[in-house]
Amino acid sequence: MEKKWFTISVYSENSVGLLNRISGIFLKRHINIESLNVSKSEIEHVSKFTIVVYTTEDWVRNIVGQVEKQIEVIKAFYHTDEETIYQESALFKVASTLLFDERNIQNIIKDSNSQIVTVSRDFFVLAKSGRRNEIDDMYQQLKPYGIMQFVRSGRIAVTKSEMKISSLLKEFNQ
Amino acid sequence: METLKKEKTASTKQATKRISGAEAIIHCLLAEGVDLIYGYPGGAIMPLYDELYKFQDKLTHILTRHEQGATHAAQGYSRVTGKVGVAVATSGPGATNLITGIADAQIDSTPMVCITGQVARHLLGSDAFQETDIIGISTPVTKWNCQVTKASEIPEVLAKAFYIAKSGRPGPVLVDITKNAQIDEFDFSYEHCKGVRSYNPYPKPDIKAIEEAAHLINTAKKPFIVFGQGVILGQAEEQLRTLVEKAGIPAAWTILGLSAMDTDHPLNVGMVGMHGNYGPNLLTNECDVLIAIGMRFDDRVTGSLDTYAKQAKIIHFDIDPAEINKNVKADVAVLGDSKVTLDLLLPLIKTNKHEAWHNEFKEKYKIEFDQIIKNDVYPTKDKLTMAEVIEEINIASGHKAIIVSDVGQHQMIACRYAKFKQTKSNVTSGGLGTMGFALPAAIGAKMGAMDREVVAIIGDGGYQMTIQELGTIFQNKTPVKIVVLNNDHLGMVRQWQELFFESRYASTVMVNPDFVKIAEGYHIESKRISERKDLKATIKEMLASKDAYFLEVKVEKEDNVFPMIPSGASVSDIRLK
């Protein structure tokens, strides 16, 4: 079976140790987590894990089944890239002198649709949200001028179709 | 935890009472109907033991000789009673020693609650004496676990622990309680947990799926049932028997399903899997509808999945959605508690007989009998075989004993040849294959069924992994019957070495001690036999004994267990020699 990128969305209670429990499911199957993000969700007091893996659909189905089986997990879904709207965010810290000395830097900022978050005497920080390849492109463009620090977030994603989680919760709460 | 649904217990409806966390643990256990627990004391759990001392008239604590023994005893107790087994240990090594039993209970779906002591809240993360991250360590092998650092959290967490352990697909739960939480006082009241919003233990049966299943069963020419422990856990033995009889379907079992149906039932065609019976394995690839009930298509059952029942429509009854399509794709999946789903299925099932099909099983049995069973059970050679010992136990106990087996050749022989009339009578470590399981599990089984005969069948290897539990048997005068089938080898590994590693017997020869003397050291009546002429009388003597009894049977050293499906081979490639 063909390997693909899958985004796994996990709705759960916000409890200590659940991340360990979920990551263990991947560990047991020797599957690498390519990206992980944990945040609040659209439902009050419900957390959302967004996990990206590169594997086969058989495995991702198996994993989602095991994840959903965990007591504190309310519901888990998996989707392909085509079924989701997804982004990552990155911060680039660059020396301030470049902003004034290298004209091309200003073009990179404009062309990449990134924002200047802060400017200080010594450095400035650029923020960029978008697809992984867009962030990678910007990284490659800035690299020759010297990047002091770089960080990229995990993928965050919403699905094109409805996730039937709120109605499910309502049913549980009855 | 506003997500819990609770129910006040009758016993605690009165006003709250200010007590210590340790005393609260006792009241929680009593409220859950626990009257027997297994464990081993130590520093971080001492406040609880102090309360156990005060409540010993209401709650019996059995001191095992190792924490692993406590878990297996709790498992044995649970497997024969259907109740939640409880094991207690201290922090650090006490807690880590529970892990094997917890992993065993997880893979064999045994409801168990383990309570561990933990260093005080202010010492967490300081590498304090006997501190270990038991929550982290136990996470992959527990159905749920939770650390309690405040006394006031104890009732809610323990109520949830018992609810989760026994509901849905059962499993082990670990609750780690810091020492300060055991000592501190709070206003105690107890409410049973009635549900957890993120946890749906009993999926609603889908009537459409049940109708589809009934249609497939009613139109099948060669239907075949394979049942597992889900029938026992769901208390659906009666429903299974009715289905088998009404539709006239040959039924086979996994080793954890064994005893859910009378082994002498004409439609009980035996065991599936690596050392299962010839007919059910071979005919798995001949049936047209395979009805799997409460089993999980373990690799030891299926052999190679690429060639497993490809010709058949698969109907899979299971309570755990994660088991559906995990190993074998189901054409019809019926989610739910086996009793509920089978009750819904039965009225839709047409009366039928599949005599020609059933005869195929009988023919295959005849082949197996002539080539294997006859020589196993009625040997003509000098040395005793394991199977003839099991057969003598069958005869002497009238098929009424609880058989607790360890792991290895003797386990396969015990499961192949032991006869059962009553459910919950076969206790063995199936999924994890834990050597050392049987002796402590037999203690728990006996304490859970004092009116029944409990016979532990153990190999000389596994026996020595938990042999110290003879101390528990001696101290508690637990009348278990212990049969060690001694071939002076790690027999199953030796068999594989013979068959697949050109007889290179790497580390499988055991130089054994005098087992009889060891048992005598614990003042347990004991005997060793090596000749056939002594077998019948000795088994009788053992079963007649009102006390614990140890019997060592010297058996043929290099016997192999057949039939056998070599690892990774197809069920069709089952070997008779």
Please name the helix (run of DSSP H) or strand (run of DSSP E) that holds residue B63, with its range, or none: strand B60-63
Per DSSP, the three-state class of B218 is helix
pLDDT at B11: 46
pLDDT digits (tens, 9 = 90+) for B468-496: 999 999 999 999 999 999 999 999 999 99
A20/chain B closest Cα distance in angstroms = 7
A101/chain B closest Cα distance in angstroms = 50
Considering only the top CATH level, what class is A86-152? alpha beta
What's the farthest any 2 CA atoms get from each other in chain A? 64
Is B144's Cβ below 8 Å from some Cβ in A? Answer: yes
pLDDT digits (tens, 9 = 90+) for B289-306: 999 999 999 999 999 999
pLDDT at B5: 65
CA-based nearest residue in chain B for residue A10: B198
CA-based nearest residue in chain B for residue A172: B197
Convert B373-384 to b/e letters by CB count within 10 Å (16 or more is b).
Answer: bebbbebeeeeb
pLDDT digits (tens, 9 = 90+) for B263-274: 999 999 999 999
pLDDT digits (tens, 9 = 90+) for B488-528: 999 999 999 999 999 999 999 999 999 999 999 999 999 99
Best residue in B133, B178, B197 for a mutation probing chain A (most A CBs within 10 Å): B197
Sheet strands side by side (includes B144-148): B60-63, B36-39, B85-89, B112-118, B172-178, B144-148
- Please provide the DSSP assignment of B440-504 as one string: HHHHHHHHH-TTS-EEEEEEHHHHTTSGGGHHHHHHHT---EEEEEE-SB-HHHHHHHHHHSTT-
Amino acid at A17: G
Question: Which of A154-163, B183-192, B201-210 bottoms out in mean pLDDT, i.e. has the lowest?
Answer: A154-163
pLDDT at B12: 45
CA-based nearest residue in chain B for residue A58: B326
Choose, from B5, B7, B13, B129, the residue flagged as catalytic. B129
Contacts of B139 in chain A (CB under 8 A): 17, 20-21, 24
pLDDT at A1: 82
A84/chain B closest Cα distance in angstroms = 24
Best residue in B198, B325, B326 for a mutation probing chain A (most A CBs within 10 Å): B198
Best residue in A20, A69, A173 for a mutation probing chain B (most B CBs within 10 Å): A69
pLDDT at A7: 97
Mean pLDDT across B407-423: 98
CA-based nearest residue in chain A for residue B320: A69
pLDDT bracket for residue B2 (50, 70, 90): very low
Question: Which of A30-39, B7-16, B164-173, B294-303 bottoms out in mean pLDDT, i.e. has the lowest?
Answer: B7-16
Amino acid at B203: P
Decide the pairing of beta strands A3-12 and A73-80. antiparallel
- Residue B465 catalytic? no
Residue that has been written with the tokens 């000395």 in this structure: A101
Phi, psi of B174 (to 5 degrees): -115, 130
Q: Is B130 exposed, middle or buried (0-12, 13-18, 19+ CB in 10 A)?
A: middle
- Residue B179 catalytic? yes
Mean pLDDT across B102-117: 98
Cβ–Cβ < 8 Å for B164, B296: no
As given in the structure block, the two tokens for residue B519 are: 């048992």
Choose, from B386, B492, B542, B564, the residue flagged as catalytic. B492
Does B140 contact A28 at a Cβ distance shorter than 8 Å? yes
Choose, from B32, B51, B67, B391, the residue flagged as catalytic. B67
CA-based nearest residue in chain B for residue A174: B197
Contacts of B3 in chain A (CB under 8 A): 13
A24/chain B closest Cα distance in angstroms = 6
Contacts of B164 in chain A (CB under 8 A): 71
pLDDT digits (tens, 9 = 90+) for B339-374: 999 999 999 999 999 999 999 999 999 999 999 999
pLDDT bracket for residue B3 (50, 70, 90): low
As given in the structure block, the two tokens for residue B319 are: 């309570």
Kindly give the interhelix angle for B46-54 and B21-31, rounded to the nearest 10 degrees: 60
Per DSSP, the three-state class of B386 is helix
Does B140 contact A66 at a Cβ distance shorter than 8 Å? no
Contacts of A17 in chain B (CB under 8 A): 135-136, 139, 145-147
Q: Is the pLDDT of residue B48 over 90?
A: yes
What's the pTM value of the predicted model, to 2 decimals? 0.96
* A interface with B, Cβ–Cβ below 8 Å: 12-13, 16-17, 20-21, 24, 27-28, 61-62, 65-66, 68-69, 71-74, 169, 172-173
CA-based nearest residue in chain A for residue B197: A172
Spell out the per-residue pLDDT of chain A, length 174, in tens: 899 999 999 999 999 999 999 999 999 999 999 999 999 998 888 999 999 999 999 999 999 999 999 999 999 999 999 999 999 999 999 999 988 888 899 899 999 999 999 999 999 999 999 999 999 999 999 999 999 999 999 999 999 988 878 777 776 665
Q: Is the pLDDT of residue B179 over 70?
A: yes
> Do the domains spanning A3-85 and A86-152 agree at the CATH topology level?
yes
Residues in CB range of B527: below 8 A, 6 or more apart: B516, B538, B541, B542, B549, B550, B551, B552
pLDDT bracket for residue B211 (50, 70, 90): very high
CA-based nearest residue in chain B for residue A18: B139
Q: Number of Cβ pairs closer than 8 Å across A and B?
A: 48
Cβ–Cβ < 8 Å for B228, B294: yes
B98/chain A closest Cα distance in angstroms = 19
> What CATH superfamily classification does A3-85 receive?
ACT domain (3.30.70.260)
B435/chain A closest Cα distance in angstroms = 23
- Residue B297 catalytic? no
What are the extents of the domains in chain A? 3-85, 86-152
Contacts of B198 in chain A (CB under 8 A): 12-13, 71-74, 172
For residue B198, give the nearest of A16, A28, A72 by CB distance: A72
Mean pLDDT across B185-210: 96
Does B326 contact A21 at a Cβ distance shorter than 8 Å? no
Q: Is the pLDDT of residue B404 over 70?
A: yes
Q: Is the pLDDT of residue B10 over 50?
A: no
pLDDT at A103: 86
Does A20 contact B145 at a Cβ distance shorter than 8 Å? no
* Distance separating alpha carbons of residues A75 and B234, to the nearest angstrom: 25
The one-character DSSP state at B373 is I
Per DSSP, the three-state class of B361 is helix
- Residue B286 catalytic? no
B320/chain A closest Cα distance in angstroms = 8
- Residue B194 catalytic? no
Contacts of A27 in chain B (CB under 8 A): 140
pLDDT at B13: 45
Does B322 contact A69 at a Cβ distance shorter than 8 Å? yes
Does B197 contact A73 at a Cβ distance shorter than 8 Å? no
B74/chain A closest Cα distance in angstroms = 23
